[in-house]
Amino acid sequence: MDLICINGPINSGKSTVGRRLAGLLPGAVFVEGDNHGAPDEADLDTVIAIALARIEGLIASAGGDLVIAYPLRPQDYARLASAAGRRGARLFVATLAPPMAVALADRGGRPLSAAERDRIVEMYAEGYADPAFSDLVLDNAGLTPEQTAAVLAEALRRAIDRGPARR
């Protein structure tokens, strides 16, 4: 079983690319990490805790490969790596890292709120676009979601060919 986590700041393309990537991987299921069920008034730490608990539950019950779109801090990566280890699964983390100016632009289907723009700036400052735990960091600014997914699928294939990934 493979767990592919699409990491990156808000508006980097995690969900769009993750859906496309899951479509390229036979039998893979896409997991939208932001569908966490936390109350709207919940603080960020609570939202993250609820989202990670949900993702850990999905990993525990998965019948096959998962493509998970969710931004990770080092401690969040450690939780997912632990959940992967309990399942005997390989964890591959791909970080989408367009320049901050691109992430701050309104792209996709909805305009960003002022709070989202502020959080994007914070996420870049906190290292979400270049974490040490990532297997691949990709500036996807000049790529379509389909091209980005193809690059990630090829990187995943190469990682599998190299042998066991870290757990």
Does a structural domain hold residue 131? yes
Q: What is the pLDDT of residues 84-128, one digit of tens each?
A: 999 999 999 999 999 999 999 987 777 999 999 999 999 999 999
CB of 148 within 8 A of CB of 17? yes
Q: What does the pLDDT read at residue 164? A: 53
Q: What is the pTM of this model?
A: 0.91
Structural domain for 133, as ranges: 2-162
Which of 31-40, 62-71, 108-117 ranks highest by mean pLDDT?
62-71
Q: What is the CATH number of the domain that holds 82?
A: 3.40.50.300
E strand or H helix at 138: strand 136-138
CB of 108 within 8 A of CB of 100? no
Taking 80 as the threshold, does the pLDDT of residue 11 lie above it? yes
CB of 5 within 8 A of CB of 94? yes
Does a structural domain hold residue 147? yes
Please tell me which residue, 2 or 161, carries the higher pLDDT value.
2
Domain count, the chain: 1
Does a structural domain hold residue 167? no
Task: Please list, residue by residue across 68-93, b when 16 or more beta carbons sit within 10 angstroms of its beta carbon and e when fewer do.
Answer: bbbbbbeebbebbbebbeebebbbbb
Structure-token pair, residue 66: 């998962």
Taking 90 as the threshold, does the pLDDT of residue 160 lie above it? no
Count of other CB atoms within 10 angstroms of residue 22: 21
CB of 116 within 8 A of CB of 11? yes
Q: What 8-state DSSP symbol labels residue 111?
A: P
Q: What does the pLDDT read at residue 23? A: 96
Taking 50 as the threshold, does the pLDDT of residue 167 lie above it? no
Burial (CB < 10 A; 0-12, 13-18, 19+), residue 13, is buried
